[in-house]
Structure 1
Amino acid sequence: MGAWDLLLAGLVILLGLCGVLLPGMPGSWLVWAGVAWWALKNPQPLSWAVLVGATVVLLLSRAVRWALPDRRRNRDRAMRRLMAYGGAGAVLGFVLIPVLGAVPGFMGGVYLAERLRLGRHGEAMASLRTALRAGGADLLAELFACLLITGAWLGAVLAG
């Protein structure tokens, strides 16, 4: 697989990670499509294992999201800002503490956004709980699955 193909697959995966945070964009499917394209262009056993693992993780995240209470995400400007902070925190947490750091990073990012906006710890914690109930848990499940898939893809690219 050439460097350009690898770069394009990485860009599709990055676009998918950003797309998870945007309403109406199929972010998780873009991440899967980037991995699938890479696996088809690079037919090695490790590539196919990553593709199968990505498919399983994506289907499991769909099942988890289906099991969560049905909450329609109110995507007004404030909620988008919270999810942007949460997404940035999840990516930072995923890098600092591999895999497990995404969850506290997401919650820390939302807390930071609300602490900066409201100024008090108690109000920020209450707003964090409200944001998670209003669709943040759904978004966190999808973002965590996409980060797992991206981490596996990146590990396979660096190993191969």
Structure 2
Amino acid sequence: MSAGAEVLVGLVIAVGLIGIVVPILPGTLLIFGAIAVWAFLTGGTVAWTVFGIATAALLLTAIVKYTWPGKRLQQAGVPNRSLVVGGLLGIIGFFVVPVIGLLLGFLLGMYLSEAQRHRTHSGAWRSTVQATKAVGLSILVELFGALVAAGLWLAAVVFW
């Protein structure tokens, strides 16, 4: 594979990493696709081994991303309904106030849903904080897997 093509793959991986932190783009899919294209075009044992390990890291963290924070929310007593309301208002907020509207809409939706359920500010706020922590944990888990995959790819490009 040419150096220019490897730079292009690296740029797609970087955009994927940004897409994980700022959930606008499907970051994990971009990283997976970029490494898959690189492995296909490069060929050889090293490329396919990197692809296999990167795929395993991305899949494992995708599973953990959805189970670990969900379990914490369940233990905190936050219902899925509140997450759905928060997510929907987050999507609306993204279009009303680009980028930060996603976070603002999610927080507002969570708080309003929990305020209706708890009927108190303190209970609604506690649930909103728990949900925000869970979303942050989910992003960190996904970012960890993506960084492992990106690091493997970079090591293969630099050292092999």
Deviation at 1:62, TM superposition (A): 1.3
Does the 8 A contact of 2:69 with 2:134 survive in 1? no
Can you list the C-alpha shifts for 1:46-69, whole angstroms capped at 9, x where unaligned? Answer: 100000001111110111012124
Q: Distance in 1 between matches of 2:101 and 2:2?
A: 42
Matches within 5 A, 1:1-160: 1-70=1-70, 72=83, 75=90, 77=100, 130=130, 133-160=133-160
Q: Following the alignment from structure 2 to structure 1, what is the Cα–Cα distance between the partners of residues 52 and 132?
A: 30
- Cα deviation, 1:107-128, whole Å, max 9, x if unaligned, reads xxxxxxxxxxxxxxxxxxxxxx
Per-residue CA deviation, residues 126-145 of structure 1 (Å, 9 max, x unaligned), is: xxx75762410000000010
Contact 2:12 2:31 in 1 (8 A): yes
1:81-113 deviation line (CA, Å, top 9, x unaligned)? 9xxxxxxxxxxxxxxxxxxxxxxxxxxxxxxxx
Q: Distance in 2 between matches of 1:56 and 1:135?
A: 22
Task: Write out the 4+ residue segments of structure 1 that deviate beyond 6 Å after TM superposition.
Answer: none
SS in 2 for 1:152: helix
Tell me the secondary structure at the aligned position of residue 50 of structure 1.
helix
Give the corresponding residue for 2:122.
Answer: none
The corresponding residue for 1:122 is none
Question: Comparing both structures, which one devotes a greater share of its residues to helix?
Answer: 2
CA contact (8 A) 2:69 2:137 kept: no
Instruction: Provide the TM-score with structure 2 as the length reference.
Output: 0.62
Which runs of no fewer than 5 residues in structure 2 stay unpaired?
74-82, 94-99, 105-128
Q: Name the CA distance, whole Å, in 1 between partners of 2:60 and 2:8.
A: 26
TM-score by length of 1: 0.62
Mapped partners of 1:69, 1:159: distance in 2: 36
- Return the alpha-carbon distance in structure 1 between the equivalents of residues 45 and 143 of structure 2: 26
Contact 2:32 2:55 in 1 (8 A): yes
CA RMSD of aligned residues (A): 2.5
